Amino acid sequence: MATVSRDFRLQMEGYGLTTAEIHYHLPDHPSLLQTYIWQEYDLAPKFPELRSFLDFWTQTIEGPLHSIRIAHHKLIKPSEWQVVPIN
């Protein structure tokens, strides 16, 4: 019996692919910014997975956060139908 992948199961539960561009200050050079890209399936608009990762970041990683840009897309959604006349 075939098993369903975790990613597909999450998409069927309403999760969408979320990408976060995280800008943070370098600990040794606070005037410089570095970028980290995070990507995971998450639930918009509250983004519990991203929030959990950011909590981990602030508690564990020395580089203070500067800004975050988020992109989110549901990969599985209702399809759209359109009537196309045939001449």
Task: Tell me the pLDDT of the chain (87 aa) as tens digits.
Answer: 578 899 999 999 999 999 999 999 999 999 999 999 999 999 999 999 999 999 999 999 999 999 999 999 988 777 777 877 887
Q: For residue 10, how many C-alpha atoms fall within 13 Å in the half-sphere facing its CB?
A: 16
pTM above threshold 0.85: no
Is residue 56 packed enough to be buried (19+ CB in 10 Å), middle (13-18) or exposed (0-12)?
exposed
pLDDT at position 18, please?
A: 96
3-state secondary structure of 12: helix
pLDDT at position 24, please?
A: 97
Contact 34, 24 (CB under 8 A): yes
Give the integer Cα–Cα distance in Å for 73 and 4. Answer: 21
